[in-house]
Amino acid sequence: MKPVTAAKKLGVLLSATPAEFQAGVISRDELNELQSKPPAWLADLRRNGPHTKQVIAAKLKVSIAGLARGGITGPLTTDEIDALKAENPEWLKHERSIQVKVREEALRLKQR
């Protein structure tokens, strides 16, 4: 598979991966190996970032659209995400409350 596809499956930014990962083709077996026994560079990327929008949204407990409404358009590191959590700006509080309502509604519909 293409490196961009493998990076998505691994949950990391392609631009943050090593050059040899970006230049090569990754087989299904290689991807499985990376997932089961991540090398140091992959473990570091997952721990410290920069993170994808999906990971940022999950860590902040908001939607990807909520990130955009809050002005977050690019990747963030774990330290930047932690700083946002500590600061807890109004937009983040608002987006979290929206996300709670969405989850409650989804649960209500599922229980029907």
Is the domain of 44 the same as that of 68? no
Q: pLDDT per residue over 46-64, tens digit each?
A: 999 899 999 999 999 999 9
Is the domain of 30 the same as that of 78? no
- Domain limits for position 97: 53-111
Is the domain of 74 the same as that of 103? yes
Q: Looking at residue 24, what is its pLDDT?
A: 83
Exposure letters 51-75 (e unless 16+ CB within 10 A, then b): bbbebbbebbebbeebbeebebeeb
The count of domains in the chain is: 2
How much of the chain exceeds pLDDT 90, in percent?
Answer: 82
pTM here is 0.81
Is the domain of 104 the same as that of 57? yes
Residues 55, 10: Cα–Cα separation, whole Å: 11
Is the domain of 65 the same as that of 38? no
Residues 106, 112: Cα–Cα separation, whole Å: 10
Is the domain of 65 the same as that of 96? yes
Distant-in-sequence, close-in-space partners of 72: CB < 8 Å, separation ≥ 6: 53, 56
